[in-house]
Amino acid sequence: KVYENVADLPSLQYDFVIVGGGTAGNVVASRLTEDSSVSVLVLEAGPSNQGVLAAQVPFLSIEVSDTGTPYSWNYTTTPQTGADGHVFDYLRGYLLGGCSSHNGMAYTRGAEADFDRYANLTGDEGWSWNQIFPYFLKNEKWTAPADNHNTQGQYNPAVHGTDGPISVSVSGFSWSEFEQRVIQTTKELPDDFPFNLDMNSGKPLGIGWFQYTIGHGERSSSATGYLTPEIIQRPNLDVLLHAQVSKLVNVTQSRALPIEPITFQGVQFRYGTSLFVAKASKEIILSAGAIGTPQILLNSGIGDRTALNALGIPTVLNLPSVGKNVSEHAYSGVSWAVNSNQTVESITQNITRYNEAFAEWNRSHTGPFVDPSAGTHAGWLRLNASSPLFKIHPDPSPGPDAPHFEMLLQPSAFAGTPGHFISFTMAMVSPVSRGSVTLSSNDPFAAPLIDLGFLSSEFDALALAEGIKLALKFASAPAWNHDGYLGAPTVDIAAMTPAELTAHVRANSGPGYHIVGTAGMSPRGAQYGVVDPDLKVKGIAGLRVIDASVVPIVPGAHTQAVTYVVAERGADLVKQTWN
Ligand SMILES: Cc1cc2nc3c(=O)[nH]c(=O)nc-3n(C[C@H](O)[C@H](O)[C@H](O)COP(=O)(O)OP(=O)(O)OC[C@H]3O[C@@H](n4cnc5c(N)ncnc54)[C@H](O)[C@@H]3O)c2cc1C
């Protein structure tokens, strides 16, 4: 049951306490309570996703994710020196379902090589593509798009699941004039931009139809998919909303020989203005996300001893990697005016059409509101193998079949400027830069310091500039130019010198909200890393991390799919321990 009020909660003692009812946390809660003899409490800081229209209607997703809404943690980053000192709003979902209830819904798994690298980095074959692939299928329910169009040639059914909790589909509204030009470009420039039937096969390179976690015109999230009305009625599953966890408590630390591992029996949380403790007899599972999880570990005295000392927090375990090793994508777009009115601006800049489209969604879950308008296609591309950039830094991608870049192809510019636009937005998806999440004070409820290390590596900035040249090359195909479709660019990037282009990238990029790595996996016994390959926190008994924090390096993909499979496998690992 979902509880709004702590006073109604039947108990504060469970087998498992899961901190965070987000993307991963709800998967774990749902899977563990399949066994009716196991009791689970989920503590979620935010409110319910139920009745939040913008968390339901794909086209309105920006209204639920933006800073300033009641459904966002409203974080900001520290000034990012790689981005001219810019301070970014750093979005994180503050509602049941976490980021899966407010994200852009892009469904991208990454490359085989991303997962094979995780297996190599952890020494656990269980994280390899081949062994993780069944978890992608377990998580997924391939669904017909909202407009029921013929999807033949738009995806490969052989690589998709059909009866998992999360609906996945291609766009359910066609921007056909734009889409035809994208596909035509893959025919005109096939060497640089080959068509790829399915970017989620493990071999993502090329241009393909984008897939979204959307079913029948509605967002599919961990809250809607893993906490269905049937699941939430399980007598062994309780979810408490508005409960913000501060730290782990009731530590037992034997100093006698043989030294027993450290254990925590409970978690402290704030509900309203009061503090409570929930106890776990089997395990505490941190699923508070790549910012919340390291913050709770650090508040609990698990982290870098020097940094904890400086804040007056007693060190329980010196684990210097907690909060370090942030990796994140950097996005920078190129936009053109177009001589057409078939763009998303035809809705966003026309209140009558906007209202009609919304009414259509309400009536039949069809029309442009069934998609987030984030793009009809994406390309996954590489730097040229002979690029001089590899003299500055060895290739950071996990292998020759994995991308350095994502190119999002969008029939819009979101510029707010009157007119009709298209954008090719490039992202550097194999970054060298690393950042950190650290505490700002010893107040466990104060927002942490989020340093993305954004474009802090020269390699990343130069590479992103190269990526933008690829976007210009894509736009040079006759498909865009033969009939005067493409108008003036919003910024004349083609006229820039290399130095100007790099400066432009630094001044005009933003994060992808794909932070990972702050409680990274490493081999058992390693002197770095935060969790072992079975996601148990090193040196502590009865404590696991299951969320995006454990992913050691950001994949060449948006990060919800990797989070879902980490959670699915994580739940199996917990079950194996206790069965
Ligand atoms: C705006 C935005 C757009 C994105 N777009 C995409 C996309 O299109 N495709 C994609 O694949 N990925 C996207 N992502 C990234 C993806 O959604 C995340 O990587 C992934 O969902 C993270 O899952 P998680 O379980 O690690 O964390 P979360 O989903 O953030 O879950 C953490 C949960 O813990 C709760 N919590 C945190 N701290 C505490 C505490 N102290 N006490 C109690 N509860 C707490 C939070 O409220 C939250 O519900 C996007 C992210 C954002 C923010």
Question: Predicted confidence band at 500 (pLDDT cuts at 50, 70, 90)?
Answer: very high
CB 284 within 8 A of CB 277: no
Supply the residue whose CA is at minimum distance from atom 2 of ligand 1.
103
Which pLDDT score is estimated for 386? 96
554 is in an annotated binding site: no
Q: Which CATH class is domain 145-219+330-337+377-428+456-508?
A: alpha beta
Q: What six digits make up the tokens of 347?
A: 């809705």
Q: From the CA of 507, how far away is ligand 1's center (Å)?
A: 26
Active site residue 404: no
Q: Residue 310's CB: how many other CB atoms inside 10 A?
A: 11
Query: 399 is written with which tokens?
Result: 């292998």
* Cβ-proximal residues to 190 (8 Å cutoff; 6+ apart), any chain: none
Around ligand 1, the residues with Cβ closer than 6 Å are: 19-25, 43-46, 65, 91-94, 98-100, 102-106, 244-245, 287-290, 292, 296, 513-514, 547-548, 558-561, 563
Q: What is the pLDDT of residue 396?
A: 98
Q: What is the pLDDT of residue 393?
A: 96
C-alpha 31 chain-centroid distance: 21
Q: Which of 103, 410, 564 to mutate to test the pocket of ligand 1 (most atoms within 8 A of CB)?
A: 103
Decide if pLDDT at 416 tops 80: no
How far is the centre of ligand 1, averaged over its atoms, from the C-alpha of 287 (Å)? 10
Does residue 259 carry a pLDDT above 80?
no
Do the beta carbons of residue 471 and residue 505 sit within 8 Å?
A: no
pLDDT(196) > 70? yes
Residue spans per domain, the chain: 145-219+330-337+377-428+456-508
**pLDDT tens digits for range 370-397:** 999 778 999 999 999 999 999 999 999 9
Indicate whether 260 pLDDT > 90.
Answer: no
Helix, strand, or coil here: 410?
Answer: strand
558 among known catalytic residues: yes
Q: Is the pLDDT of residue 238 over 90?
A: yes
Rounded distance between C-alpha atoms, residue 188 and residue 190, angstroms: 6
pLDDT score recorded for residue 255 = 61
Q: What is the mean pLDDT of residues 63-80?
A: 92
* Whole-number average pLDDT of the chain: 96
Listed range (65-74, 149-158, 326-335, 459-468) with the worst mean pLDDT: 65-74
What's the pLDDT at 375?
Answer: 85
Average pLDDT over residues 117-136: 98
| pLDDT above 90 coverage of the chain, percent | 95
Using the mean position of ligand 1's atoms as its centre, give its distance from the Cα of residue 448 in Å: 16
What angle, rounded to 10 degrees, do the helices at 458-475 and 498-507 form? 100
Residue 360 buriedness (CB in 10 A; 0-12 / 13-18 / 19+): middle
